[in-house]
Amino acid sequence: MQTLFHRITAHFIFIALIVLFSSDVRAVESSFEIQVFDGAAEVVQPYVLISGKQYRLQAVSLDDSVLPAQWFLSGNLGRITTGVSPTLTAVFVGQGSLICRVEGVELRAKLSVVPKKRTIGSSGGKLRSPAGVVVELPKDAFAIERKIKVEIVAPPGLPPTPHRFVRVIRISPEKLVLKRPGKLTFLFGNNGFAAAKPQLYFWETFGKKWVPLQGDANTIQSSVTTSINHFGIYTLMAAAPEDLQRGERLQIQNVKLSPRVFFAPDRNRLTITYQLNAPDVGQVFVTMDIFDLRGRRIRRLLEDAPRYIGPNVAQWDGLTDHGVLVRNGRYLLVIRARIGSQQAVRRKLIVVFK
């Protein structure tokens, strides 16, 4: 009987200790909270952060005192910089947790990183991403309203040696070909990067390679701007491109297609790379058309679009000007360039196979 009494007593004491301990843990865990700030404004939970943007972190006690804390991030979402004022830079899109530790007590908050988004219609518009990228679209760049997204992504391929990436961004919808070309600007800030003569590149999916793009570098604004007729993955690399050999006259050189046979245009894009060579001038105006073998123009990709001396790229989605997918067969790519009274023309045969 006494043994049974002792067992029952011990059991109740054990339960009481569990309840007491649990109450103490809850009391300690609720003794501070996590705060995330976008500038001066506090971000409310659930935390949804924008790729490329920087946020300030704080651990605050119940009496609003700022506490010294350790900060961690689960998931490959970004990076945390510790110091007097800890900051979190959101990088890759995804979900994870923000972890805060104060004197051995840990709090977790769910975290999501999303692209910078903006809906742009046929009247055009501008999307400025905190990733240091600006996309400007003119009127009639596309016929219907589109939700444009910009996000930082991991490099899909190694940079050409000895280049190094500054940042790699994806503009979505990734396979969208514009009816009128827009502008893409990378901002690199006042960090001495201009001395490296930064070079823009586009990731060519079929060939799995980085294709160079010539742009206009502005050392005062610390930016590089290029003209694009398609979305996809772009990057700015810290490496000096080879010096361009200026010609005495305007020339269109090294026209190449990838893939060589444009197969499955409903799923793939044809990448057209070419190089412009001319005397020392800023911009060349390029018109790019696709004709059938009867001489009928079926698609205008560029019309007097400003391009820069050096390597350039454009894409074709296999559609006509009326949005109809072309038939199997052979087509003629015609590239025209002009500077004042100077003009140049290059032609290239395209084979489409569905």
Mean pLDDT, the chain, integer: 87
**Rounded to two decimals, what is the model's pTM?**
0.85
The CATH fold assigned to 245-354 is: Immunoglobulin-like (2.60.40)
Count of Cβ atoms closer than 10 Å to residue 314 Cβ: 25
- 119 vs 26 pLDDT, higher one: 119
pLDDT at position 28:
41
| CATH annotation of 31-114 | 2.60.40.1080
Each residue's pLDDT tens digit, 104-126: 899 999 999 999 999 999 999 99
286: its two tokens? 């390029």
Environment class of 300 (CB within 10 Å of its CB; exposed 0-12, middle 13-18, buried 19+)? middle
Which phi and psi angles does 321 have, rounded to 5°?
-65, -20
245-354 has the same fold as 31-114: yes
pLDDT at position 320:
96
**Max alpha carbon distance in the chain (Å)?**
113
Query: Is the model's pLDDT at 349 over the cut of 90?
Result: yes
Query: Is the model's pLDDT at 158 over the cut of 60?
Result: yes
pLDDT at position 8:
42
DSSP 265-310: TTT--EEEEEEEE-SS-SEEEEEEEEEETTS-EEEEEEEEEEEESE
DSSP 214-251: --EEETTTTEEEEEEEE-EEEEEE-SPPPPP---SS-E
In terms of Cα–Cα distance, which of 176, 36, 34, 149 is closest to 93? 149
pLDDT at position 247:
66
In terms of Cα–Cα distance, which of 80, 100, 101 is closest to 90? 80
- 239 vs 77 pLDDT, higher one: 77
pLDDT at position 30:
53
Across the range 62-84, mean pLDDT stands at: 91
- The domain spans of the chain are 1-27, 31-114, 122-242, 245-354
Query: Is the model's pLDDT at 14 over the cut of 70?
Result: no
pLDDT at position 5:
42
Across the range 245-273, mean pLDDT stands at: 90
Each residue's pLDDT tens digit, 171-187: 999 989 999 999 999 99
The CATH fold assigned to 122-242 is: Chondroitinase Ac; Chain A, domain 3 (2.60.220)
